[in-house]
């Protein structure tokens, strides 16, 4: 869970282009702005998916709430929300969506969840250091049918901005859950490579590439539209999710509409989990994450690839 070298190398690969846009780990003092409350006609369809600092601060001592810092261990050790356990996205990676691979991956993820002390009946709150990647662990638990999992809007940056204390250095090792974690898989929230291939040319399906424009131009799944994942959040730290109306406008402008089956992907399913989360947040109910993403698609010489900046 705490493989520092692997985590740092993989994170640099995924975040490289986004860091150039100022979308990296927040540093220094943040502005004292907070997002305005949405207007009556700008509510999220599923507001329970996001919680704010005030909600979390009032529940730090609640034994039914478990906090997970979803970030590299060195960043976590430098300061995290008190009482958190830690894991990072490389520990949950799966880029082979064949049946046998997914079954083995689920067993490993369940083992990791048990080790973190996650029980099926706890409320899990996930936060990140500004990457928006907390959505990845949210999606994993969502796929496993976890009853109550939420993301801290603005992540660790919002917590620090509120002036609330953080813990420094590594925590005590987590206490494993008494009962091994066993998920109840929700098959509709994942897209396997055979399903993505079968959807090509189907106008009822919208494929969304959440990578950078350069990655998209170099090669993408035919028919996919490019919506880089940082566009789901406001541009300045803390990275609060955009209001519902702005998210709807972003996707509908690219013909990614609620009446279509939406399949997001990126390089390894981490960035596109942000896309999945955002779409579910605003009420898209028919969304399936292609977690194998470009890593799986591009490894198959029999699958078609489109280059250039057009679908």
Q: Which residues are catalytically annotated?
A: 266
- Cis peptide before 238, with omega less than 30 degrees from 0? yes
Q: Assign residue 237 a region (left: φ > 0; alpha: ψ between -120 and 50; beta: otherwise).
A: beta
Asked whether the CA dihedral 91, 25, 48, 226 is positive or negative, the reply is negative
Axis-axis angle for helices 271-281, 244-252 (nearest 10): 110
Residue matched to tokens 């799944």: 221
Rg of the chain, C-alpha, whole Å: 19
- State how far Cα 160 lies from the chain centre: 21
- Residue 311 burial (C-beta neighbours within 10 Å; 0-12, 13-18, 19+): middle
Report whether 280 contacts 287 (CB < 8 A).
Answer: yes
Distance, CA of 190 to CA of 195 (rounded, Å): 10
Question: Phi, psi at residue 127, to the nearest 5°?
Answer: -140, 155
Paired sense of beta strands 65-70 and 205-209, if any: unpaired
Q: Cα angle vertex 272, ends 271, 275, to 5°?
A: 110
Buried-exposed string 104-125: b where 16+ CB fall within 10 A, e elsewhere: ebbeebbebbbbbbbbbebbbb
Distance CA 170, CA 78 (A): 8
């Amino acid at each position: 869970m705490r493989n520092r070298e692997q985590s740092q190398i993989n994170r640099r690969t995924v975040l490289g282009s986004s860091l150039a846009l100022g979308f990296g780990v927040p540093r220094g003092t943040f502005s004292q702005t907070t997002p305005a409350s949405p207007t009556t006609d700008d509510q999220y369809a599923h507001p329970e998916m996001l919680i704010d600092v005030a909600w979390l601060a009032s529940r730090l001592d609640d034994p039914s709430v478990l906090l997970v810092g979803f970030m590299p261990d060195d960043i976590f050790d430098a300061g995290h929300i008190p009482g958190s356990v830690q894991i990072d996205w490389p520990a949950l990676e799966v880029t082979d969506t064949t049946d046998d691979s997914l079954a083995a991956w689920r067993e490993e993820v369940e083992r990791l969840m048990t080790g973190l002390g996650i029980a099926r009946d706890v409320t899990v709150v996930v936060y990140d250091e500004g990457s928006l990647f907390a959505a990845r662990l949210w999606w994993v638990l969502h796929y496993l049918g976890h009853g109550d999992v939420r993301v801290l809007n603005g992540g660790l940056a919002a917590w620090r901005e509120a002036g609330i204390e953080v813990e420094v250095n590594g925590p005590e090792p987590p206490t494993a859950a008494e009962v091994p974690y066993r998920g109840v898989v929700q098959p509709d929230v994942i897209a396997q490579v055979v399903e993505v291939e079968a959807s090509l040319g189907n106008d009822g399906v919208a494929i969304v590439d959440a990578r950078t424009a350069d990655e998209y131009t170099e090669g993408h799944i035919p028919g996919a539209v490019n919506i880089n994942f940082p566009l789901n959040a406001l541009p300045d730290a803390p990275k609060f999710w955009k209001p519902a109306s702005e998210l709807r406008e972003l996707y509908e402008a690219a013909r990614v509409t609620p009446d279509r089956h939406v399949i997001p992907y990126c390089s390894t399913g981490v960035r596109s989990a942000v896309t999945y989360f955002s779409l579910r947040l605003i009420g898209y109910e028919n969304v399936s994450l292609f977690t194998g993403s470009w890593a799986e698609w591009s490894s198959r010489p029999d699958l078609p690839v489109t280059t250039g900046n057009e679908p």
